[in-house]
Structure 1
Amino acid sequence: MSDPDIAFLWRLLVEALTALAADPAEQCAWSDRYGVPPDELALGFDDAYRLVPQLAAAGRLDADAVAELRALDALFTGLTDEGDPARWAVAALADDPAWARARAVSRRLLVEWVGDRRPPMPVIRVIR
């Protein structure tokens, strides 16, 4: 895979983690702005998580980062398996401990990768 392709995949992962790392109020505003439910935060991560093997093979992710991303994936799998719709509601972003853990892991990885600067929330573009 070429460097531009890896750069694009890297950006997708950083954007997904940026959305997960945001404060609950920012996540709620993002959800409202685009008219999407909070599960889109997890689905965005799921899409990016599928890129982890390629990013690791390209040397963009070390074993510790891969392990943290795997744990984040397991957290969302657990939420899904529970089948409790309240855990996917807007209110859960601020109140649910699982969302707080997702924020903590995402923030830790972002600080390691991009420093203390906070990338902007991703923009959703719909092409019709």
Structure 2
Amino acid sequence: MNEPSPRFAAAFVRSVAVLALEADAQVAWTSQLAKHHVPLIDELALEFDEGIRLLPIFVERGWLNDEARPVLAQLDEQLDAMSGQHNAHLWHAEALVSRAEWDRVRTLARIALTRLV
């Protein structure tokens, strides 16, 4: 992997911002990424997952605020709890709108955004 740059940190912040969007905006965003007219809901978590592993570097280099780390950890735990084949039903557009799990994701992401920079 290349040395992380501020661009990686910006992509991570964008991933948190997308997780913080209202459900209808998340559906629209994932629909833009659609394959065969099926929204890619898992894309909401994939970019976040890539960035959370680099968070210590982002903080160390002063690109992101360490105050966000605890809530980002909670967000990561929430997304992990939603993963797996037994939770496949959570990764459909309807679930973004109707499931409490996604409400929690949005709440945590909004809190994290206020602490990241």
Same fold (TM over 0.5): yes
- Note the 1:1-128 alignment, pairs <5 A: 5=5, 7-35=6-34, 36-59=39-62, 60-62=64-66, 64-81=67-84, 83-113=86-116
Per-residue Cα deviation, 1:15-65 (whole angstroms, up to 9, x for no partner): 101110111111111111220421110111101111111112223232x41
The one-letter code sitting in structure 2 at the alignment partner of 1:61 is: N
RMSD over aligned CA atoms reads 1.9
- Aligned partners of 2:18 and 2:94: how far apart in 1? 16
Identity of aligned residues (%): 29
Instruction: Report the TM-score when normalising by structure 1.
Output: 0.75
Residue 113 of structure 1 and its aligned partner are, at CA, apart by: 4.2
- Aligned partners of 1:45 and 1:100: how far apart in 2? 17
Residue 9 of structure 1 and its aligned partner are, at CA, apart by: 2.5
Q: Which runs of 5+ in 1 are unaligned?
A: 115-128
Equivalent residues, number: 109
Residue 101 of structure 1 and its aligned partner are, at CA, apart by: 1.0
- Aligned partners of 2:80 and 2:101: how far apart in 1? 11
Per-residue Cα deviation, 1:1-26 (whole angstroms, up to 9, x for no partner): xxx92x22320111101110111111
Q: Which runs of 5+ in 2 are unaligned?
A: none
Alpha-carbon contact 2:42-2:91 (below 8 Å) kept: yes
The one-letter code sitting in structure 2 at the alignment partner of 1:20 is: L
The one-letter code sitting in structure 1 at the alignment partner of 2:114 is: V
- Aligned partners of 2:46 and 2:33: how far apart in 1? 15
